[in-house]
Structure 1
Amino acid sequence: MNRKDLVENVARQAELTATQAEAAVGAVIDGVVGAVAAGDKVSLSGFGTFEPRHRAARSGRNPQTGEALEIAATVAPAFKPASAFKQAVAEG
């Protein structure tokens, strides 16, 4: 499912126009991205949690040359699904 499919699904289930559904989906995505980018955790009951995860600096190796290099610390977005979500996927 891509964004267009999701918008169509939201429009159908919530009985909205495609324009309204696009605005709703866009607002949710923008809200989650903005909150996580600001360092906040976003928990959606029954769905999961989006959060920023800090990765420490570490040593690595260039696979082509074998040369050692330092990988800088970074912050990456992460998602942890809720138990209900995991169970729904497992049951198919």
Structure 2
Amino acid sequence: MESTVSKKKTIISYIISFAFIIAMITASVILKDREIILPEVAAMAIAMWVWRDEGWIRQPFKIFLVPSITALIGFVVNQLPISYLSILHIF
């Protein structure tokens, strides 16, 4: 399969993707919170921006939005001052 994306665009895509991932890591180190690093978002950044996988690119907004929202929900739940055992007692 021949790619119609130029070499310059591919290099720029790599740079942007890795800069995004490094920004997540930097924020994590500065804020001393490892949960800021979201591997699912990093994987999507590489798949959509670098590899340009057609299956991933069809609806990039939805592909980015849904996992980002679920990651945000998980992050917020982990920040709550309650233990998981107390949640289990409720149900």
TM-score normalised per structure 2: 0.32
TM-score normalised per structure 1: 0.32
Decide which structure has the larger Cα Rg and report it: 1
- The structure with the largest strand share of the pair is 1
- The structure with the largest helix share of the pair is 2
Q: Say which structure, 1 or 2, has more relative contact order (CA 8 Å, 6+ apart).
A: 2
